[in-house]
Amino acid sequence: MKKITTLVFACLLGAVAYGQGISGGVKAGLNLANQTFSGNGYTTSPSFLPSFHGGGYVTAMFTEHFGLQPELLYSIQGAKSGDESYKLGYITVPVLVRWSVNNLLSFHAGPQVGILTSAKHKYQSESVDMKDNLTGTDIGIAAGMSIDLPMKLNFSFRFIKGISNINDTPNSTTEQRNYNLQFSVGYKLFGK
């Protein structure tokens, strides 16, 4: 985590010194979260769990088209199957390379680290804490696009694919991975 923070800070300083500047704001929106379960030669995926995410972002542009966009978000991941749901709360830190086609449209991609804050398995009216059965971190890859409007509003769509196995249940051979579709609305608080 210290290495990621140092890298982001160095990139932001570089953007200030050599680039087009820094901007930032807040964002929130809809998650369509799901998981894959793999083991014994099969892979299955339950239904999407509608949930939410929200937090802040900073964009550091090194040139007119190329920059870096780190974010700090709270995000609910998980899955749903009938009366059963898995809700996993994460603090996520995506560090995205941003390619701006023009002032309106940009594409972004990069790694994301998630730190588990809560985990609940709910069946009908019963809820059980399952945090001890999951790893404390989730590593993923994020990619998507954004539309920046002149009135400081922006809209983004992103796909996040977990690449680490989050199942930490003793003696389990099943691998469990998050994936998520994110739809966000953002508001720029400072910068161009």
| pLDDT for the residue 17 | 45
Confidence band of 20 (pLDDT split at 50, 70, 90): low
4: enclosing H helix or E strand: helix 2-18
Q: Are strands 126-129 and 137-148 parallel, antiparallel or unpaired?
A: unpaired
Neighbours of 123 (CB within 10 A): 12
| Residue 54 clears pLDDT 70, i.e. is over it | yes
Average pLDDT over residues 154-170: 96
| Residue 16 clears pLDDT 60, i.e. is over it | no
Q: Which CATH number fits the domain that encloses residue 46?
A: 2.40.160.20
> What sign does the CA torsion over 122, 94, 151, 145 have?
negative
Higher pLDDT, 65 or 43: 65
The whole domain housing 94 covers 2-190
| Residue 79 clears pLDDT 70, i.e. is over it | yes
70-79, 167-176, 177-186: which has the minimum mean pLDDT? 167-176
Region of 83 on the Ramachandran plot (φ > 0 left; ψ -120 to 50 alpha; else beta): alpha
Q: Could you give the CA distance from residue 67 to residue 65 in angstroms, rounded to a whole number?
A: 7
Neighbours of 57 (CB within 10 A): 23
Q: Could you give the CA distance from residue 72 to residue 115 in angstroms, rounded to a whole number?
A: 11
Neighbours of 95 (CB within 10 A): 17
| Residue 78 clears pLDDT 90, i.e. is over it | yes
Confidence band of 5 (pLDDT split at 50, 70, 90): low
For the chain, what is the mean pLDDT? 90
Question: Tokens for 116?
Answer: 């588990």
| Residue 19 clears pLDDT 80, i.e. is over it | no
| Residue 15 clears pLDDT 50, i.e. is over it | no
Tally of domains in the chain: 1
Q: Could you give the CA distance from residue 165 to residue 1 in angstroms, rounded to a whole number?
A: 19
Question: Tokens for 1?
Answer: 């985590």
